[in-house]
Amino acid sequence: LEFLQQGELINSFSNLRRDLRRLAAAAVLAELAGELSTPPETTGAIFRTLNQALEHLDAGADPDSLLPPFLLHILQLGGYGPRWESCRECGREPAPPLYFSVPRGGVVCGACSRGAAGPLLPLNPGAWKLLRLAATLPLEKLTRLRFPPSQRDQSLAVIQNFLRHHLGRNLKSWAFWEKMTRATSGPGSR
């Protein structure tokens, strides 16, 4: 058992407090990092990823495009990364219509969807391509991805359902993220 006797604040991420959407995205990322930081051998990489995401958010990065790829990266580091490269049923390159099998943890092609383990969530080809790319990019390139609103929403729905399946519950901070997203996506808010 180790004890921490002293600590020093290195970065307070003070800009996050000025933007509730960025703060909400940071809360989701931090909660997931905390959930997946065991065993100890994954902790360092998970928290380096979290720190990089927080630095980008603090510098003004768009939380809509930052949240999906960084969540996927943390999931992969924690050993829960979904599979995007081939159909989880037949093993071939997925062809539309595409679905995400929550219990199988990956994409399912239209031909295999009838017999696939569900629930199955619809996945448009654009969202699939972005998620597949996010799963393969190195950490320092994740901020180059841009998730348009419909693809962001679909990607986050897939990730949220996948997390609920594996954690047995929703992340508590997810409700805060959704509330902040709704509050800023109304008429005249952007």
Rounded distance, CA 172 to CA 68, Å?
A: 17
Q: How far is CA 6 from CA 10, 13, 39, 84, in A?
A: 13, 20, 23, 43
Q: Which residues of the chain have pLDDT under 70?
A: 185-190
Look at residue 76 in the predicted model and tell me its pLDDT. 94
DSSP designation for 108? E
Residues belonging to the chain:
190
Structurally, what CATH architecture does the domain formed by 17-184 represent? Answer: Up-down Bundle (1.20)
Rounded distance, CA 190 to CA 187, Å?
A: 8
Rounded distance, CA 60 to CA 74, Å?
A: 21
Look at residue 129 in the predicted model and tell me its pLDDT. 96
- Taking CB atoms within 8 Å and a gap of at least 24, the contacts of 105-110 are 105/80, 105/162, 106/82, 107/82, 107/83
Q: What is the pLDDT of residues 93-104, one digit of tens each?
A: 999 999 999 999
Look at residue 132 in the predicted model and tell me its pLDDT. 95
Residue 128 tokens, joined: 């699939």
Rounded distance, CA 53 to CA 64, Å?
A: 12
46 close to 73: Cβ distance less than 8 angstroms = no
Place of tokens 């597949």: 132
Look at residue 117 in the predicted model and tell me its pLDDT. 83
Three-state secondary structure of 65-79? HHHHHHHHHHHHHCC
Coil, helix or strand for 122? strand
pTM for the whole thing? 0.90
Place of tokens 């099998």: 101
**Which of 27, 52, 58 has its CA nearest to residue 139?**
52
Q: How far is CA 122 from CA 27, 50, 158, in A?
A: 27, 28, 9
